[in-house]
Structure 1
């Protein structure tokens, strides 16, 4: 099958079954923020991923609340999470982050919410192709989608590691700079104190000779 037929089929399959939202949000100190997604079909798969990129100890509290205010999952002081669960109820799901633990530290949070409805849409079949050929093509596309999703997760993981390591380097540089300033100030103070003590002794010695 030519690429001109394969890519529209892939787009039709993916666009009709998955809706996703990827955002980066800056949490203010003592802030609680919630994000919403609607599930129109019972049994849909919901993928929820988040990672704290910067701020404090890179941790955040989270809660996932389903329809009828039922808590689906929650966690405290988590740095990163990657979950997939089945929506047993139709309605609005709420994904909340809580930074009330921090009194002055901002936190940058990357997160993604993806809803995959079941059953999957059928790929438009080419004229003259058998159901077996269509099934093999669909399976190949789904496998490709899964592999792309895995690569995307790995890229996010490496990005999170890079941001955290960079934040650690900046924090270390800041501490070294402050320590150097304190050390320089102490050296200047000690030099001034030594000059004062020497002058005091010489002035006392002159008075003794007089």
Structure 2
């Protein structure tokens, strides 16, 4: 059993690749990015819509021949993982084509695991394995923190917008109230006025 684990760990040596992006996608447009992957490489895209419209976006990943591998339609957040079945340029796109008015702000992270085959048969030290596990855990924590920051920004914008609407509604009610009071005083004053007849 230990030999099997040792063989599997030497078979799947990997290096973590991480990048984080924040983009704005105009209404009726799409933004596409690409990664050059080799067979058995893994790629994970984690995304979240941080602002605009109903906070939803279309997302898909296509293989080097243009065929869709995964597709998410009108999701506000998502995580899509693929394992490349062929070498080439894999494209992933965020589409705001369903919206004609609202621009969308999307935050996304791309993680990759590079596959290393049988040519790397050296034994991986336990400390190196632990460091890689910790690196993977730190990446997950970083993703979660970015998710929380975007959610906090969205909630803060909603609270500030609601606060501004309540303020202006209160001001308009006060103006209407004073206008009605002034009109009533004027009307009652004119009702009790003595009119002289010449």
Q: 1:143 aligns with which of 126, 130, 133?
A: 133
Structure number with higher helix proportion? 1
User: Contact 1:54–1:167 at 8 Å: present in 2 too?
Assistant: no
Q: 1:193 aligns with which of 178, 183, 196?
A: 183
**What is the Cα deviation at residue 110 of structure 1?**
0.6
Equivalent position SS for 2:53: coil
**What is the Cα deviation at residue 18 of structure 1?**
3.7
Equivalent position SS for 1:119: coil
Distance in 1 separating the partners of 2:178 and 2:97: 42
Number of the residue aligned with 1:59: 56
Number of the residue aligned with 2:158: 168
Q: What is the TM-score with the length of structure 2 in the denominator?
A: 0.79
Number of the residue aligned with 1:26: 24
User: Contact 2:61–2:90 at 8 Å: present in 1 too?
Assistant: yes
Equivalent position SS for 2:194: helix
Distance in 2 separating the partners of 1:101 and 1:182: 36
* Contiguous gaps of at least 5 residues in structure 2: 1-12
Matched, 1:119 2:109: no
Distance in 1 separating the partners of 2:76 and 2:188: 57
User: Contact 2:70–2:80 at 8 Å: present in 1 too?
Assistant: no
What is the alpha-carbon root mean square deviation over aligned residues?
Answer: 2.6
* Contiguous gaps of at least 5 residues in structure 1: 1-12, 126-130
Count of residues in Structure 1 that have an aligned counterpart in Structure 2? 184
Distance in 1 separating the partners of 2:16 and 2:144: 20
Number of the residue aligned with 2:80: 83
Alignment of 1:86-97 (within 5 A): 86-97=83-94
Q: What is the TM-score with the length of structure 1 in the denominator?
A: 0.75
Distance in 2 separating the partners of 1:77 and 1:101: 9
Distance in 2 separating the partners of 1:186 and 1:76: 46
Equivalent position SS for 1:67: coil
**What is the Cα deviation at residue 42 of structure 1?**
0.5
